[in-house]
Amino acid sequence: MRPNLHSGLIVFAGISGALAVFAAAGAAHDLKDWLAAADLARIQTAVRYQIWHALALLGTAALSTSAAGGASLLLRVAGYGFALGSLLFCGGLYLLSFTGLALFGWLAPAGGLAFMAGWLALAAYGWRQRGG
């Protein structure tokens, strides 16, 4: 990856991880009196996906540093998939939980597709690295 893209993924991963911890702490402590149990469960789902994909972003950024000739298109697709998935899937669940507007629930499936595209791009990158 170009240095600015590589750095951007690391920055996004760090901010995403921090927001996930913040949301988890809020759901565990301050939000119990404000939100229904279903909303709290939805937030916990978003937190799990967000923290795992923050770590996936870090792994993708690390792989890009050792990629011959810089990161391949597949690593860029993986990184963007993880970042976009976090925004859409996790963001959609957070917004749905806090606002109750069903419109935001439609963001989650699009985010899930972005997550899957990221993982499949990462798998394809690994396949190519093994000579497949």
pLDDT of 115 reads 98
What is the DSSP code string of the chain? --HHHHHHHHHHHHHHHHHHHHHHHHHHTGGGGTS-HHHHHHHHHHHHHHHHHHHHHHHHHHHHHHSTTS--HHHHHHHHHHHHHIIIIIHHHHHHHHH--GGGGGHHHHHHHHHHHHHHHHHHHHHHHTT-
When divided into structural domains, the chain yields a total of: 1
pLDDT of 4 reads 57
Enter the tokens of residue 37.
């149990």
Enter the tokens of residue 21.
């911890």
CB within 8 A of 114, min separation 6: which ones? 80, 81, 82, 84, 85, 88, 89
Mean pLDDT by 10 residues, the chain (132 residues): 68 95 87 88 96 96 74 89 98 95 95 98 91 66
Q: Give the whole-angstrom CA distance, residue 33 versus residue 31.
A: 5
The residue segments making up the domain with residue 111 are: 3-129
pLDDT of 1 reads 43
